[in-house]
Chains A and B, each alone.
Chain A
């Protein structure tokens, strides 16, 4: 096997400790967000204060890693200043890029000299024409592709665009095209795309009822499992419901993405960067997943075979899938 182009590994960090863990484990780039609703992982106790972000960027740069700041929710009417300040602060701290989704915010950030713009998966740009509009209008340099495309579709997109593409290779999956899901807001009154949390923890409840464990969102029971089953996931899309004679996962099975085995095909399809999901997870998760994928990326670059993944225990449903990259139903 011949040597191949090295892919960039983009890793999550929900806390400064997770950022340091990701850098130590071999991340080429780390994505993270401020501790407010400007990013799509606005969870209690998570994310970075302004001082922590400045220190985190400096730490990463000292160790030759990049920091990409996610400001990827959609500004609320009348509150644009919160989002524009996040862009300005990320720029001031020396972020290597900001990850944006909103058109108005992209326009604002495009006016900041030297600030590299990445298009968030929240923008759901899933074809070459849409991506080209973002590139020409705002100078977007990289696009994070939605998790709805096959490897062949990604290759087709890369043939027709002049910007980099980044794809998810590990972590939770969304059944919806990202940025277009309002499912949990019907149960919680909170928008995943504006308030920054799908199924916010304040609306999630787990309760043991006899031998069963029941998960509720906004007071609605969405899944019930037996004593030996994996704990249920707290989102409506992965709930279990009765529809007519059918009972089960109506929208999506609770499985996680693991595309480690597809790294050679994704590279062949012209992808620049591989992204790991999980800013809401611990530094133990970050360390384990980043180490595994860094080894896989290095193996691919050196022309060696990629070892089988050993990360199933870390996934949400304790089961993994190659997701839309391999659409077996087609």
Chain B
């Protein structure tokens, strides 16, 4: 059964640590992951059409920082910012980090999270809808995408990384790996 309201919050102690940690490693890692997504999933950006020019504010409400994404096919950009920092955006998508990851992994339905108020959107609704549809179609697994950054070592690193993510996900309730029925895979 679908349970929109069972979304776990990011651990408070982790959020507190992030408040004092520098954000440049997050920006760097996020940018590299975004570049990689652009290469491995070109349809993700082409499906956005005109909406790829928009600036998206990804706002994990249980973290002390926000992310800015410009999904332009030729040069996608990603950066992390403090909450009190002034950043311009066209569309804002806000919710617990686990909800945002769960949307990417196909664990949650965006409309259901929105109607239940677990997810909030502001600004350009067409851009949000396009991004939601483009991401949903790519069937992404963020762990697999992250380990792909390791190049030739990816084949070795992916299985244990996915096992670890599944384990943490099982304990925390956060959907840290892609949902798949596996019938035809």
Contacts and interface: CB of A to CB of B under 8 A. Distances in A.
Interface residues of B, number: 43
B86 interface: no
A17 B126 CA distance: 20
B184 interface: yes
Contacts of A87: none
Interface of B: 1-5, 47-49, 51, 103, 106-112, 114-117, 120-123, 125-134, 136-139, 179, 181, 183-184
Contacts of B110: 282
A205 B125 contact: yes
Given A313-B5, A314-B109, A15 B133 contact: yes
Contacts of A23: 184
Nearest to B131: A45
Contacts of B131: 45
Contacts of B127: 44
B4 A313 contact: yes
A207 B120 CA distance: 9
Nearest to B180: A24
Kindly name the residue among B123, B131, B136, B183 whose own CB sees the greatest number of chain A CB atoms within 10 A. B136
A318 interface: yes
B115 A284 contact: no
A206 interface: yes
Given A44-B126, A284-B108, A284-B109, A63 B184 contact: yes
Contacts of A38: none
A231 B111 CA distance: 10
B107 A316 contact: no
A207 B122 contact: yes
Given A44-B48, A284-B109, A313-B5, 12 more contacts: A24-B183, A43-B129, A44-B51, A201-B128, A208-B120, A230-B115, A280-B111, A283-B136, A284-B2, A287-B181, A310-B2, A318-B115
B109 A45 contact: no
30 contacts: A17-B137, A21-B106, A23-B184, A24-B183, A44-B49, A44-B133, A45-B47, A45-B48, A45-B132, A201-B129, A202-B125, A202-B126, A228-B117, A230-B115, A231-B115, A233-B115, A234-B125, A280-B111, A282-B106, A284-B108, A285-B2, A287-B179, A288-B1, A313-B2, A313-B4, A314-B2, A314-B4, A314-B109, A314-B112, A315-B112
Kindly name the residue among A206, A234, A284, A310 whose own CB sees the greatest number of chain B CB atoms within 10 A. A284
Interface in A200-214: 200-202, 204-208, 213
